[in-house]
Amino acid sequence: IDTKLPKVGTTIFSVMSQLALEHKAVNLGQGFPDFEPPQGLRDALARAMNEGRNQYAPMHGTAPLREQIAAKTERMYGHRPDVDAEITVTSGATEALFAAIAAVVRAGEEVIVFDPSYDSYEPAIELQGAKAVHIPLIAPAFSVDWQRVRDALTPRTRMILINSPHNPSGAVLSAADLEELAAIVRDTKIVVLSDEVYEHIVYDGRQHESVLRHPELAARSIVVSSFGKTYHCTGWKLGYAVAPKSLTAEFRKVHQYLTFCSFHPAQVAFAEFLASDPQHYLELPAFYQAKRDRFRALLAPSRFKLLDVPGGYFQLVDYSAIRDEDDLAFSRWLVEQGGVAAIPLTPFCETAPGTRLLRLCFAKSDATMEAAAERLCKL
């Protein structure tokens, strides 16, 4: 048939998880924790289901959950979104990203994305008849060259899509980066879409620079987050978008016909859990930093070179001392012969990155990390 997405195959996350199963490999590919969400949250979900909260939720999310999101956002970033007009609960960040792009970007317009970029961005842009303009991040720190962004602007530029902490590199944008971005979009029609799903996972005392800390950017941004990342429940697919009233109104026009509303029992559970335990996300940096440090220590004797991890729950490793082949070939060899599933960077890039890097997920129990490290240290 005349396909709308000729370049798109099956997402690398499904491909790698399937290969991991087939080859009985330790799965450090697809990014999900192999430990459970907090007990109190699971209990709250079961209660919500047993107490009859099983029909449609309000279209934009339950009021108590939006209230908790507003309170959390104010506490973290000093910006309190309006509970009724500026917060929309979605079916994961994936839906929020798609709805934001569909609501804002027209056919023929351009969206600036930074490579490597999360794999759902470009298809969402292409389905609007728009074009993703790819700007490579500068390795090894995966920083943004803002001059390249300025050079890429055209009258058709409608959106700039940023992601911090960054998947797959873990890079975090600084306050100075946000100033650069603000200067670039000032007096333009450009909307910023800020993917902040790893907002609570930053290390070594860093602060996450949400665009919501920056009033000028907050006024023109759609900010996306995910409960799946913060509460170890990626399978519940609950996220949200925060945006000013006018942008939220457009966003909701898409959301209401894309999904209408999201999983109701989980909204009830999160509203209750966030009210009773507002600490969980404040403890995440220490929780994941311990995992990061443990994983790095386990891999220290290996022939992989470890890149710095300022945020997120992925470790990039350079495998060039082990085999001289591209990342697609190496990741296939690794899952088949080495017994570990990882994610190559090529699917996150417009052109093959030319680096010898793989992404390993360390949102794992000690036992999983140890089993993987034992295999990785033999290579």
Shortest Å, Cβ 92 to ligand PMP: 3
Interhelix angle 39-50/264-276, nearest 10 degrees = 130
8 Å CB contact between 318 and 355: yes
Q: Does 116 bind ligand GLN (CB under 6 A)?
A: no
Number of residues counted as binding ligand GLN (CB under 6 A) = 5
**Which of 96, 190 has the CB closer to ligand GLN?**
96
Stretch that binds ligand PMP, among 207-215, 224-232, 270-278, 293-301 (CB under 6 A): 224-232
Contact with ligand PMP (CB under 6 A) among 122, 195, 199, 209: 195
What sign does the CA torsion over 198, 201, 204, 209 have? positive
From residue 166 to residue 205, the character string flagging contacts with ligand GLN as x (rule: CB under 6 A) and all else as - is -x--------------------------------------
Provide DSSP, 51-116. TT--S---TT--HHHHHHHHHHHHHHHS----TTTSEEEESHHHHHHHHHHHHHPPTT-EEEEEES
From residue 164 to residue 193, the character string flagging contacts with ligand PMP as x (rule: CB under 6 A) and all else as - is ---x--------------------------
Contact with ligand PMP (CB under 6 A) among 77, 98, 114, 118: 118
Provide DSSP, 167-224. TTT-----HHHHHHHHHHHTTS-PEEEEE-TTTT-B-TT-----GGGSHHHHTTEEEE
Q: Does 81 bind ligand PMP (CB under 6 A)?
A: no
Interhelix angle 366-376/280-299, nearest 10 degrees = 30
Interhelix angle 264-276/63-77, nearest 10 degrees = 50
Q: Please name which of 219, 212, 224 lies closest in space to residue 246, comparing C-alpha atoms.
A: 219
Stretch that binds ligand PMP, among 66-74, 128-136, 226-234, 274-282 (CB under 6 A): 226-234
Of 74-103, which residues contact ligand GLN (CB under 6 A)? Answer: none
Q: Does 31 bind ligand GLN (CB under 6 A)?
A: yes
Q: Please name which of 181, 162, 180 lies closest in space to residue 171, comparing C-alpha atoms.
A: 162
Between CA 256 and CA 89 the distance in angstroms is 11
Q: Does 13 bind ligand GLN (CB under 6 A)?
A: yes
**Which of 229, 364 has the CB closer to ligand PMP?**
229
Q: Does 61 bind ligand GLN (CB under 6 A)?
A: no
**Which of 229, 322 has the CB closer to ligand PMP?**
229
In the numeric block, which tokens belong to residue 150? 């300025």
Between CA 314 and CA 117 the distance in angstroms is 14
Of 279-338, which residues contact ligand PMP (CB under 6 A)? Answer: none
**Positions in the binding site for ligand GLN (CB under 6 A):** 11, 13, 30-31, 167
